[in-house]
Amino acid sequence: MVAMLRLGLLAKMLVILLAAPLAHAAGTEAKERAARKACLSGDYAKGVEILSDLFIDTKDANHIFNQGRCFEQNSRFAEAISRFREYLRKATAISPADRADAEKHIVDCQALLGPNPAPDATGAIVPKVEAAPTAPAAPSATPIPAPVPASPAQPSATPALAQATVASPSGPAANPRRGLRIAGVACGAVGVASVATAIYYYTQAKSYSDKVSGQGANPNPADESSGKHAQTMQWVFYSAGAAAIATGTVLYVLGLPAADTGNTTAGIAPMFGPGVAGISAQGAF
């Protein structure tokens, strides 16, 4: 009965430990969605503010990249360049492809700014449009006006601008399933801690077993009771640890990008032997 009560208490502790990372991941995804909606609807100030809070909470430089995309979508190219450059300073471990993507956004924004950018009435810096050349003045009137040849077609007053790609603000390595991966890692950590605790009880059970064996025909009842208790707790923590590691592996696999899940393999197996007991988790991601 005591063992069952302790097992129930352990299960409740596992639920509490797993609920925190899952709630945090859900809150992060909700904020990312709110920032995306604000940027696409033109409220860039709100979108950038939400992304700032996300960066402070997670230290993920992709949120700085998303600030640049938010400014870029709203034709605030100077601010966008500043954010993309800050992203390159903060994200020191990004891949060459991600760095090239950020640098391309900087080049695109600089091209749209033009050589002499100037702010408009709202403060946004927009491309400077060169005025079209005016047609030459018509000759002065004469008593018998000569026919004036038609002037050639004048160039368009507004040159076509390269259209910035409008997309949802997502960093080059952003993954909407990141919350599941975080929860998987947390669950796996709980499982590893449970297995470590089980190994401790295993050593205690073995120690008491050796002690009782050396006491002959009249072993100490207290030592026998302590040994049985340690043996019971050993299997309780082994079971809880195996369940937590299995759950963490499943959550991590589900959180992988869709392009990678096809090549994902994972497995869990118990390890038993003379003086050894534990859980083996294997996987390739």
pLDDT attached to residue 198: 86
Residues 198 and 241 sit within 8 Å (Cβ to Cβ) = yes
In tens, the pLDDT along 232-255 reads 988 888 898 899 898 888 888 887
pLDDT band at 156 (very low <50, low <70, confident <90, very high): very low
118 belongs to a structural domain: yes
pLDDT of residue 227 exceeding 90: no
Structure tokens at 28: 């992060």
41 belongs to a structural domain: yes
249 belongs to a structural domain: yes
Q: Which of 60, 94, 126 is the last residue of a domain?
A: 126
End-to-end CA, the chain: 42
CATH number at residue 61: 1.25.40.10
Contacts of 136 (CB under 8 A, 6+ apart): 151
Which long-range CB contacts under 8 A does 278-284 form with residues at least 24 apart? Answer: 278/195, 278/198, 278/199, 279/191, 279/195, 279/238, 279/241, 279/242, 279/245, 281/188, 281/245, 281/249, 283/249, 283/253
User: What is the model's pTM?
Assistant: 0.39
Which residue range forms the structural domain that includes residue 72?
28-126
90 belongs to a structural domain: yes
229 belongs to a structural domain: yes
15 belongs to a structural domain: no
Instruction: Decide: residue 95, CB within 10 A, 0-12 exposed, 13-18 middle, 19+ buried.
Output: exposed
Residue 199 CB neighbours (<10 A): 17
In tens, the pLDDT along 20-45 reads 666 667 778 899 999 999 999 999 99
Q: Are residues 206 and 276 in the same domain?
A: yes
Structural domains counted in the chain: 2
213 belongs to a structural domain: yes
